[in-house]
Amino acid sequence: MKMIAARARPASARALFHFTILAAALVLGGCALPLPDKPVRAAPYDLGPPPASVAAAAPGEALALAPIEAAAALDGTAMVYRLNYAGAGQQPRAYAQARWSMPPAQLLEQRLRQALAATRPVLEGDSGLAALALRAELDAFDHEFSTAAASDGVLRLRVTASAAGARPPRLLGQRSFSLRRPAPSPDAAGAAQALREASDELLRQLIDWLATLPPAR
């Protein structure tokens, strides 16, 4: 029995030695493997400040602006595009490496507040201090492709104006705005520029329309 045990010890030692060498080789080999690339963050886009020409509009009475409501597809920060030329216009897709810095309705509301504030006091929708109240619904804020190379930024917004606090409520006017501007490139950067230009025109048309409404009081 002692002889068997004596022969087993060297065999066990050799096995441990070979296992140690193999483990070291695996560790060293693993260190030589390339590390995976870091995930690329989606580039954020916004609409920038409103155009300076808006500030030249005639001043008006104070208004209350409610948060802009949006279609479900526009709730997030995805930059949506549609391939109309491929028969897939009803299948909204999102750019993988680009996004809006905040949901489109919030971007548009922020810009609208800035533009209107250049000509009149702009209050929160439930302040109760303004005679004129505005509500808006955003139906489209997309990058639509008519061909693989030709595309437009498309913006559709419905605005309702009413006499704030009137009993019974009094409708002053409602208008649907539909803007389309060509994108300079068939990508996210082109979409952002086209939609900025569309929102510029929206601000001009909206301010002109407000000037045509009857007095809220």
Q: What is the CATH number of the domain that holds 55?
A: 3.40.50.10610
Same domain, 99 and 143: yes
Stretch 49-65: mean pLDDT: 79
Mean pLDDT estimate for the chain: 83
Strands 151-163 and 170-182: antiparallel
* pLDDT for residue 143 is more than 60: yes
Provide the CB-side half-sphere exposure for 23 (13 A, CA). 6
Same domain, 28 and 59: no
Residue 92 structural domain: 43-210
Same domain, 109 and 202: yes
Same domain, 115 and 146: yes
Same domain, 85 and 177: yes
Residue 217 lies in a domain: no
Query: How many folded domains does the chain comprise?
Result: 2
Phi (first) and psi of residue 49, to 5 degrees: -75, 160
Given this model, what pLDDT does residue 27 score?
42
Least confident of 123-132, 138-147, 167-176: 123-132
Q: What's the pLDDT tens digit per position in 107-125?
A: 999 999 999 998 889 998 7
